């Protein structure tokens, strides 16, 4: 027995296929970008769009430029620093000794 569903196999908003219903697509340009790993990507841009200087490589994530022989350098990543490393950058050993002596004096009740 049929279920009586007249629009079976269709989705909401579906209409006739063809360029006449959707309009004409804008003229496109494919521009090549190369990253420092030698990967090439060719994103598509509208012909009247402003082309960016760099584009992120979809394979490695590095920035890619339009010059194959001179791609942009990969970003420099800083190593992880602990809280103690940041404190040592700001204070000298003598400052640390003075702060430690003051804190110990407070704990002993001398101050």
Q: Where is the binding site for Zn(2+), in residues?
A: 35, 39, 57, 60
Which residue would you say has higher pLDDT here, 111 or 86?
86
Q: With beta carbons less than 8 A apart as the criterion, state whether 31 and 43 touch.
A: yes
Work out the mean pLDDT of the chain and round it to a whole number: 84
Q: What is the pTM of this model?
A: 0.54
Per-residue pLDDT at 77: 85
Residue stretches of the annotated binding site: 35, 39, 57, 60
pLDDT at 17 over 60: no
Task: Show the DSSP H helices in the chain as ranges.
Answer: 19-22, 83-90, 93-108
Using CB atoms within 10 A of its CB, is residue 23 exposed (0-12), middle (13-18) or buried (19+)? Answer: exposed
**pLDDT band, residue 21 (cuts 50/70/90):** low
Distances (CA, A) of 7 to 10, 13, 17: 6, 11, 16
């Amino acid at each position: 027995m049929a279920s009586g569903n007249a629009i079976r196999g269709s989705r909401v908003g579906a209409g006739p296929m063809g360029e006449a219903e959707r309009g004409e697509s804008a003229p496109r340009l494919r521009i090549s970008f190369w990253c420092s790993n030698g990967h090439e990507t060719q994103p598509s841009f509208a012909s009247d769009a402003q082309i960016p200087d760099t584009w992120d490589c979809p394979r490695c994530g590095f920035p890619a430029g339009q010059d194959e022989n001179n791609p942009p350098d990969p970003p420099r990543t800083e190593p992880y620093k602990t809280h103690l490393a940041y404190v040592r950058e700001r204070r000298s050993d003598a400052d640390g000794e003075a702060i430690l002596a003051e804190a110990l004096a407070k704990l002993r009740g001398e101050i």
